[in-house]
Structure formats: structure tokens, C-alpha cells
């Protein structure tokens, strides 16, 4: 469930407070850029003042030619200075924008990797990536708008209003303040009203993006079930929702623009009328008339841009809110303060009365208790859903146990750092997903600093080297999205090579040979057996033929250990394991599913 829907939206000051420490690291650039902005605004305000002086000088019969010439040069210099200072500000501040965006985005990225597997199973990857993408853009925009557009615009409006107030009568003051206050109140109210529509548009956009990414990632499944039209209709439904939300957002933006323009137009007309009256009465010169007119235009431009900026800031806050919602997700599995690194003595593993459930009301493991001595191999077998793969996830500390504890060389894994724990474990998962990169990159991922010779040696041990060399690009061959260019067996052999390269103390094989043909499986099983002789190994298996040489075999059923022993002793016992063994042997002989189930139920004494 999206937690962002249950949290209060971040405020402008809340966002700025979170960004300030990162911005302040570049304070010299920030202050220099601010100085350029102030200089640019002062130069911009000086243009109409100088224009008034020029017109008044030209209107004086005694004026010498040098005075207008100097004023003209000054006018041109101020115009040029405005642009130069603005561009200088952009040059100085560019690194602040890009660095802050990079630091915050990396922080969110790192935080997402620190969250438990539970979070990632509940969220759509496409929606998360979309939130990060929009948040990256909005962070840079918010910083630029707030520090160098909103504040300088307010400064410019204040100076212009002060000049009008000081130089002319009270009516200019009243009209100017009334226009500013009316404009501000209307903009605030209208923007808050339409912000909900913008959030709805963002939700629809994330939903559409999630569905497209999910569909494309599952391209093969779509083809298997001939579901192109179904996927088209689902995506079109999301796009229609996005279309309607975008239309409402655009319509409300037009209402806001019309209201802002009306307020500015009334204020400008009243100010111009007062200036015209002043000139007619001889209280103001023609230069004053031009000055007021220029100031009015100069005042209107910041007001319009301020309204636009306020809208954009609110929309940026909505985007940033979702990104910070990811950053605020609580870390379920967290290291203790000053947690020490795991001290490896031999690599023994012990589960002591472990209880666990993915949901509070649905237990998966109950009082699971076993010991894997250092250098020994233990296998866990059982029917689907018995909790076998959960053992590996708990050992890796993707989740913390609800009851009991897990020890590695006598140390509770909750008391040591996760990094050191996972560095000691190598796993070959049942569902191997590769990075969209080269074969070499995916093998070297096990130990990025490894030499090419070490990578090749790992590939040879996993019996995939010859296949790689037969490809036109060899180790530089791309594997495609999630490794879709390779077969299931090829992907698993790459995963095995990657784990071998890591050279861990503890090994976990989670259905590691399930996608291999019989011949390749036997070859790799020999390699696994050789490797496992010097490492503590947990094998989670469906094919019982792959674990007959294990030092101990656990049989799980509905989250409980119902049998344990060696292959021979379990067969002799005639219980669950013997029934599973017989079932698999009969399957190889071509027994149909009905007889298969009946034989299993009869032998194991369980209902299927």
C-alpha cells in the first residue's frame, strides 16, 4: 500500500529545511549567485529610472548634448548588466542545483535498497521509478525557483512599490498594495484548490507508467497467453484516467490565469489613470508618466511570473512529496547502533525455535530448530509452501524473525551488521534475474574487483565458459532485460558462477538446478558437492535426487519440521520423505497425476 496517501503533504518550508544542509555545503556559490541576482534586479529597476531622467533631460531646452548621450550609454549599460548578471548567476549556481539533485536522489536510491523485501513486494517498480524521476526534476526546480526567482521577484516588487509610494501620493500606495494583496490571495486560494487535481494527475501518471513497465517486463507471459489486447485495454484505461485528470488540471489552470490577469489589468489601469491625472494637473512630468508606465509594466511581469512560479512550486511540492515519502519509509530490518561485523570462525549456522510470518495473521514457520555444523551440508525439502525458501530469506536477513533467533558462529545475526552477514553468504536463487548488461558484468557482479582470469575460472566451474566462448561477442554478449536472451539453465549457470566468484563462507542453493537438464544438473551437482565440502551449505531442493549426499535432510510441512535425518534413514523411516521420494521416482516412470497424488497421499498419510 502506498504510504504517501496516509501522510500529510510536505510544505515548502519543510522541503527547504530538508534540502538546506546539502545546499549549504556550496554556500560560497549560493551567496555569490544571490549577489548576482540582487545586482541584476537593481539594474533592471534602474532602467526606467534612467529612462525618466533621459526624457526629462531631452525636454529641457538648455540641456547640452552630452547629458542625453551619457544617459543613453547608461541606459544601454543597465540593460546589458541585467542579462549579464542573470547569466552569471546561472553559471555559478549550476553546480549547486545538479549536486543537490544528485545527493538527494542517491539518498533515496540507497534508502530503497535498505528497505525490507516486504516493501518491494508491495510496491510497483514502475511507479517508484516514476516518483524518483519526477522528484529529481522538481528538487532542482524548487531550489532554483525559491532562491533565485521567488525571493528576487518579491524583492523587485517591493522596491518598485516603495519607489511609487515615496515619489508619488497615497493613491499609488493604496492601488499598488491592493493589487498585490488581491493577486496573492487569489493565487493562493486558486492554487490550493487545483492542487488536488494535479495530485490526481500524478497518481494516474504513475499508474499508467507502472502498468506499461509491468507489461513490458512480462513480455513473454503476455505472448504465452495471447494477451496483447488485454494489456492494450488495461494501459488504455490508465491513459484515459490520466487524460481526464490532465484535462481538469489544464482547465483549472486557465481559470487561475484568467483571474490573475483580471486583477493585474485592473491594478495597472488604475495606476495608469492616476499617473495621467497627475501629468494633466502639472504635478508630474512627462518623464514621471513614462517612469510610472514602465514601472507598471515591470511590476506586472513579476506578478505574472510570481503566480506561475507559485503554481509550479505547488506542483513541484506534490512531486517532491512522493519522493520524500519513499525516503520516509521506515526501515524494517535495521542494524543496531555500532553493530560489529560478523566474526567468522567456521561458518556454523543454528536456527533456534524460529517462528515467522509474512503477515501477522499468517504464520509460515513454527518452532523451526536445526543446526548446520561448519563445513557441513543441510538440505530442506517439502511441498510447495512449506517454508523452505523462507529459511534462506531469514538467514540473509531480508526479514527479522518473529520468534527465536538465528546464529552464525554463535552470533545472533540481528546483532551484527547486515553488510558483513551478507558478505559471508552466497546464494543461487530459484528465480535468477540478471542485469541488462553483458555476461561478464553479471558474473563479475559477485566480486567486482575480481580479475578477468578469476571470472573465467568461475564460469568454467559453473560449466558455462564453453557456451560463452561460442557466442559471437563472448563475455561481452548482452543478456537483455532480466536476462531474457538466455535460457533458464544458462541464467542459473551464470548465477552459480557469480556465487562461486564471491567465494563465500556460507552457501545457499535455492532450487539452484531446477532449470537445468539432467546431464548438466549432474555435472553441476558434482561441482556443488566439491565446493560444499569446505563450506557450510544450505540446499533448498525440490528434486530429492540432488540432495542424497547431504549430511542432514529436513522435511518441512506447513512450516514445521516433521522429519530429519540422512537420505538412507529417512527412506527407511517410511514417512513424508519416503513418500516424496517414491512420488518423484514414479513420476519419472510416467505415472499420471491422479495416481501420483493418490500414491503420495497413501504413503505419506496426508491430504493433498
The CATH number that applies at residue 90 is: 1.20.1560.10
Q: How many domains does the chain contain in total? A: 2
Is there a single domain that holds both residue 193 and residue 267? Answer: yes
Is there a single domain that holds both residue 315 and residue 208? Answer: yes
Which structural domain, as residue segments, surrounds residue 597?
A: 349-604
Distance CA(176)–CA(270), nearest Å, equals: 9
Is there a single domain that holds both residue 300 and residue 180? Answer: yes
The answer to whether position 220 is within a domain reads yes
Is there a single domain that holds both residue 207 and residue 246? Answer: yes
Is there a single domain that holds both residue 382 and residue 320? Answer: no
What phi, psi does 406 have (nearest 5°)?
A: -120, 130
Point out the domain boundary residue: 292, 327, 362: 327
On whether the CB atoms of residues 324 and 15 are closer than 8 A, the answer is yes
Is there a single domain that holds both residue 298 and residue 402? Answer: no
The answer to whether position 384 is within a domain reads yes
On whether the CB atoms of residues 239 and 205 are closer than 8 A, the answer is no
- What's the pLDDT at 340? 93
Q: Quote the crossing angle between the two packed helices 125-145 and 286-327, to the nearest 10°.
A: 150
Distance CA(370)–CA(380), nearest Å, equals: 11
Is there a single domain that holds both residue 227 and residue 373? Answer: no
The answer to whether position 482 is within a domain reads yes
The answer to whether position 341 is within a domain reads no
Is there a single domain that holds both residue 355 and residue 292? Answer: no
On whether the CB atoms of residues 155 and 247 are closer than 8 A, the answer is no
Nearest Cα to Cα of residue 261 among 294, 311, 304? 304
Q: Does pTM top 0.75 for this prediction?
A: no
| pLDDT beneath 70, residues of the chain | 1-12, 58-69, 71, 116, 121-127, 148, 220, 300-308, 311, 482, 512-521, 523-528, 530-531, 587-608
**CATH number assigned to the domain comprising residue 485:** 3.40.50.300
Is there a single domain that holds both residue 485 and residue 596? Answer: yes
- What's the pLDDT at 477? 92
pLDDT tens track for 182-209: 887 887 788 778 777 777 787 788 788 7
The answer to whether position 337 is within a domain reads no
Is there a single domain that holds both residue 440 and residue 520? Answer: yes
Q: Which residues, 6 or more positions from 525, have their beta carbon under 8 angstroms from its beta carbon?
A: 513, 546
Q: Which residues, 6 or more positions from 490, have their beta carbon under 8 angstroms from its beta carbon?
A: 464, 467
Is there a single domain that holds both residue 129 and residue 266? Answer: yes
The answer to whether position 392 is within a domain reads yes
Amino acid at each position: 500500500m502506498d504510504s504517501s496517501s496516509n501522510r500529510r503533504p510536505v510544505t515548502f518550508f519543510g522541503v527547504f529545511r530538508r534540502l538546506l544542509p546539502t545546499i549549504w555545503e556550496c554556500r560560497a556559490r549560493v551567496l555569490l549567485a544571490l549577489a548576482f541576482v540582487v545586482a541584476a534586479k537593481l539594474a533592471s529597476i534602474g532602467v526606467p529610472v534612467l529612462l525618466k531622467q533621459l526624457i526629462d533631460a531631452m525636454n529641457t531646452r538648455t540641456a547640452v548634448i552630452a547629458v542625453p548621450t551619457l544617459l543613453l550609454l547608461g541606459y544601454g549599460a543597465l540593460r546589458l548588466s541585467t542579462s549579464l548578471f542573470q547569466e552569471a548567476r546561472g553559471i555559478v549556481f549550476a553546480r549547486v542545483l545538479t549536486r543537490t539533485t544528485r545527493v538527494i536522489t542517491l539518498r533515496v536510491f540507497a534508502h530503497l535498497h535498505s528497505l525490507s523485501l516486504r516493501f518491494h513486494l508491495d510496491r510497483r517498480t514502475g511507479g517508484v521509478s516514476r516518483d524518483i524521476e519526477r522528484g529529481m526534476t522538481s528538487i532542482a526546480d524548487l531550489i532554483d525557483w525559491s532562491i533565485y526567482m521567488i525571493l528576487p521577484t518579491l524583492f523587485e516588487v517591493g522596491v518598485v512599490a516603495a519607489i511609487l509610494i515615496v515619489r508619488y501620493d497615497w493613491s499609488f500606495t493604496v492601488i499598488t498594495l491592493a493589487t498585490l494583496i488581491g493577486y496573492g490571495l487569489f493565487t493562493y486560494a486558486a492554487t490550493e484548490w487545483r492542487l488536488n487535481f494535479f495530485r490526481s494527475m500524478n497518481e494516474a501518471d504513475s499508474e499508467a507508467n507502472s502498468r506499461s513497465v509491468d507489461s513490458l517486463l512480462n513480455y513473454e507471459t503476455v505472448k504465452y497467453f495471447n494477451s496483447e489486447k488485454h494489456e492494450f485495454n488495461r494501459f488504455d484505461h490508465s491513459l484515459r484516467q490520466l487524460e481526464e485528470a490532465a484535462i481538469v488540471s489544464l482547465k483549472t489552470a486557465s481559470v487561475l490565469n484568467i483571474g490573475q490577469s483580471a486583477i493585474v489589468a485592473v491594478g495597472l489601469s488604475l495606476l495608469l489613470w492616476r499617473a495621467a491625472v497627475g501629468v494633466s494637473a502639472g504635478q508630474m512630468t512627462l518623464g514621471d508618466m513614462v517612469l510610472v508606465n514602465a514601472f507598471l509594466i515591470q511590476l506586472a511581469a513579476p506578478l505574472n511570473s510570481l503566480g506561475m512560479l507559485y503554481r509550479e512550486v505547488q506542483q513541484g511540492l506534490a512531486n517532491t512529496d512522493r519522493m520524500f515519502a519513499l525516503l520516509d519509509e521506515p526501515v524494517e530490518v535495521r542494524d543496531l547502533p555500532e553493530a560489529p561485523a560478523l566474526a567468522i570462525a567456521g561458518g556454523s549456522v543454528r536456527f533456534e525455535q524460529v517462528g515467522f510470518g509474512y503477515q501477522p495473521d499468517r504464520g509460515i514457520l513454527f518452532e523451526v530448530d536445526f543446526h548446520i555444523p561448519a563445513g557441513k551440508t543441510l538440505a530442506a525439502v517439502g511441498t510447495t509452501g512449506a517454508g523452505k525458501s523462507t529459511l534462506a530469506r531469514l538467514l540473509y536477513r531480508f526479514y527479522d524473525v518473529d520468534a527465536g533467533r538465528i546464529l552464525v558462529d554463535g552470533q545472533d545475526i540481528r546483532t551484527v551488521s547486515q553488510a558483513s552477514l551478507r558478505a559471508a553468504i552466497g546464494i543461487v536463487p530459484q528465480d535468477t534475474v540478471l542485469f541488462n548488461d553483458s555476461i561478464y558484468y553479471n558474473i563479475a557482479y559477485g566480486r567486482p574487483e575480481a580479475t578477468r582470469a578469476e571470472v573465467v575460472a568461475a564460469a568454467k566451474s559453473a560449466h558455462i565458459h564453453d557456451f560463452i566462448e561460442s557466442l559471437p561477442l563472448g563475455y561481452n554478449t548482452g543478456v537483455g532485460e532480466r536476462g531474457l536472451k538466455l535460457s533458464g539453465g544458462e541464467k542459473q549457470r551464470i548465477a552459480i558462477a557469480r556465487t562461486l566468484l564471491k567465494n563465500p563462507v556460507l552457501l545457499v542453493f535455492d532450487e539452484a538446478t531446477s532449470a537445468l537438464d539432467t546431464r548438466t544438473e549432474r555435472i553441476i551437482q558434482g561441482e556443488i558437492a566439491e565446493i560444499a565440502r569446505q563450506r557450510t551449505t544450505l540446499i533448498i531442493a525440490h528434486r530429492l535426487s540432488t540432495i542424497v549426499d547431504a549430511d542432514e535432510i529436513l522435511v518441512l510441512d506447513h512450516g514445521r519440521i516433521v522429519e530429519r535425518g540422512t537420505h538412507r534413514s529417512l527412506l527407511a523411516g517410511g514417512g513424508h520423505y519416503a513418500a516424496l521420494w517414491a512420488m518423484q521416482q514414479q513420476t519419472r516412470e510416467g505415472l499420471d497425476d491422479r495416481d501420483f497424488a493418490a500414491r503420495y497421499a497413501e504413503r505419506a498419510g496426508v491430504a493433498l
